Amino acid sequence: MCTPHRPIRRQRGAALLMLLSVLALGAATVIVHQWDSRRSERQRAANTQRLLRQASEALMGYAMTHGRLPRPAISATDGHQNPNPCNSESACTGILPWVTLGVSGLDSWGRTLRYSVTPAFANGPPEVGVSVATKTIQGRDSSGALYFIDGQERCHTGADCVPVLVYSEGKNRSAGGDAADEAQNLATSQHYILRAASAEEDAPGGAFDDMIVWLPLKEYFRRMSAAGRLL
């Protein structure tokens, strides 16, 4: 009479259960790791936004004290503002002068914060009705078409364009064709793009995670007037 193979079947069943347990534990570990990674990136993004707001307030404070906005930093390793006047849009675009402002010069990913200021606002007290802010901020609508968030097609004395901005290149710095909007921000000295973060390379404008903070012109003039710094 043959002996049933129940012990062997039980062993196989136990081994299968153990394998399933190991796989489930591995899947859970991956999920937890991904969740922690996403939470960490959200925290970095939130912290970078806080650093940008601090920089914006420091810029306003500097202008109210000195009568003008600071010029870009001397270099990525020297955070003092350039001692020479910046008489063009490109010369007035570069690295945030973090030492001069007394703020952090890096975002949460360790990259230098970028900076662009209108020449007329960096070289002397602004004049209402004379000094023209020259920066613009554009977004993209649901169809991918660009529209103005602040500023307009042509900046002039009657247009509310932007006098100054500071921005982070985000986690995924890219200047390639798959991130055209990010490449635009790196290349321009006047016309910037700000939209929702996206990892989709085939989205209009490509993948994007830049963050920008700026001083609206009316708010800038209001606070400068209160400080007695307008001509």
Q: Tell me what pLDDT residue 40 has.
A: 87
Domain limits of the chain?
Answer: 13-227
- Which residues in the chain belong to E strands, given as ranges? 93-95, 114-117, 136-140, 146-150, 164-168, 191-193, 211-215
Task: Please give the pLDDT value at position 16.
Answer: 66
Would you say 30 and 24 are in contact if contact means Cβ atoms under 8 Å apart?
no
Model confidence over 25-65: pLDDT tens digits?
Answer: 665 555 544 545 567 899 999 999 999 999 999 999 999 99
Record the pTM: 0.83
Question: Mean pLDDT of all residues in the chain?
Answer: 88
Tens-place pLDDT, residues 164-209:
999 999 998 764 557 999 999 999 999 999 999 999 999 999 999 9
Beta-bridged to residue 63, according to DSSP, are none
Strand partners, 114: 95, 167
Residue with tokens 């710094």: 229
- Cα 135 to Cα 85, 162, 214: the distances in Å are 18, 5, 10
Could you tell me the pLDDT band of residue 127, with boundaries at 50, 70 and 90? confident
Q: Say which residues have a Cβ less than 8 Å from residue 121's Cβ, sequence separation at least 6.
A: 63, 68, 69, 131, 133, 163, 164, 220
pLDDT higher than threshold 70 for residue 2: no
**What does the buried/exposed string (b/e) look like for 219-229 if buried means 16 or more CB atoms within 10 Å of the residue's CB?**
ebbeebeeeeb
The packing angle between helices 217-226 and 6-66, to 10°, is 50
What CA–CA distance (Å, rounded) separates 125 from 49?
28
Query: Which one-letter amino acid corresponds to residue 57?
Result: E
Q: What is residue 231's predicted lDDT score, i.e. its pLDDT?
A: 76
pLDDT digits (tens, 9 = 90+) for 77-101: 999 999 999 999 999 999 999 999 9
Q: Is the pLDDT of residue 210 over 60?
A: yes
Q: Which residue has the higher pLDDT, 121 or 3?
A: 121
Cα–Cα distance, 164 to 117 (Å, whole number)? 4
Is the pLDDT assigned to residue 107 strictly greater than 60? yes
CA distance readout (Å), 77 to 147, 222, 226: 36, 34, 35
